[in-house]
Homo-oligomer: A and B are copies of this chain.
Amino acid sequence: MKYGVMRPGHVQIRVLDMADALKHYCDLMGLIETGRDDQGRVYLKAWSEVDKYSVVLREADAAGVDFIGFKVVSEEMLDLLQGRLVEYGVEVNEVAANDLQDCGRRIRFVVPTGHTFELFATKEQTGKWGISNVNPEAWPRDLKGMGVVRFDHCLLYGPDVPATAKLFQQVLGFDMAEQVIAPDEDKTLIAAFLSCGMKAHDIAFIESPESGQFHHSSYYLETWEDVLRAADLISMTDTPIDIGPTRHGLTNGRTIYFFDPSGNRTEVFANGNYHYPDHEPITWTADQLGKAIFYHDRVLNERFLTVTT
């Protein structure tokens, strides 16, 4: 958090049908609805999050991701980061406060992979859902479905991952926690797992020719047992599965991938590597990409390459 960027604070996901989407994100995954706005957007949070929401669903004609917002420790740091972006030559726009419900002003910019990001410092804090902040119980009893713990990160596909990673590292103070490099002499970066705290990734990119593609949004579970429970629920609800339960080589997470009714991929996972700023990036070579992504199968399934845009 060198420059005060704390965590992925929200992602706005496009869905084809809101009612279907809510069955997926709330009934199946256990996110909790905390608001709706006059644009028809629905605001969701995971139970352990203190902010009012972390996932925003917008009904649209095409699936994909609109933008991802990172929360910054203070308005002062937000000013500083805005300055750093401008100085680096990035075009920034300010979105007015309350464009997203109960959220302060957001500083928006587009990175070379074609994805829109935002920084913001203020959002209403409603506290953890279902438990008190004083003498709290271990977990809330009324969670639905998978009962996901928190929105954790996104994985995005697009061109020029090296320039994108450089921006996150040099301007926003992220670390390269884990990476995949090409077999060429320059060891070109083809996948970047970037961390602004102690997690193995707060945002990840994989090199791909088409701009602005969305691979998945990811949510944290506590245990491998929870991953199995998630897998069972995926079957019980006839939800399309991508792959898992399995382990990632990169990040070491215990994971399962599946799809929302619009075709957006969702991940739920548990455990995984931790990162500190003095850690060398963990490096996977492209010839081991299969094992890097799916540690057990050691090959990429063909669905891995599908994305929503």
Contacts and interface: CB of A to CB of B under 8 A. Distances in A.
Given A199-B198, A224-B225, A138 B295 contact: yes
Contacts of A296: 231-232, 234-235, 241, 244-245, 256
Contacts of A295: 138, 231-232, 235
B241 A228 contact: no
A74 to B, nearest CB: 9
A231 B133 CA distance: 21
Given A234-B296, A241-B297, A133 B283 contact: yes
A103 to B, nearest CB: 13
Nearest to A254: B228
A113 B271 CA distance: 35
A73 interface: yes
Interface string A270-288: 0101101111101111001
A136 B225 contact: no
Contacts of A73: 277-278
A277 B135 CA distance: 20
A215 interface: no
Contacts of A108: none
A239 to B, nearest CB: 10
A50 B279 contact: yes
Contact of A245 (B245, B249, B282): B245
A135 B284 contact: yes
Interface string A225-267: 1001001111110000100111101001010100000000000
B225 A284 contact: no
Contacts of A285: 134-135
Contact of A225 (B125, B134, B223, B252): B223
Interface residues of A, number: 61
Contact of A298 (B150, B222, B241, B246): B241
B271 A138 contact: no
A256 B247 CA distance: 13
A14 interface: no
A252 B224 CA distance: 17
Contacts of A298: 235, 241
Interface in A106-163: 125, 127, 133-139, 141, 150
Contacts of A10: none
B297 A50 contact: no
A2 B173 CA distance: 13
Interface in A37-65: 48, 50
B224 A138 contact: no
Contacts of A1: 1-2, 277
**Shortest 5 CB-CB contacts between residues of A and residues of B:** A225-B225, A198-B198, A231-B296, A138-B232, A135-B288
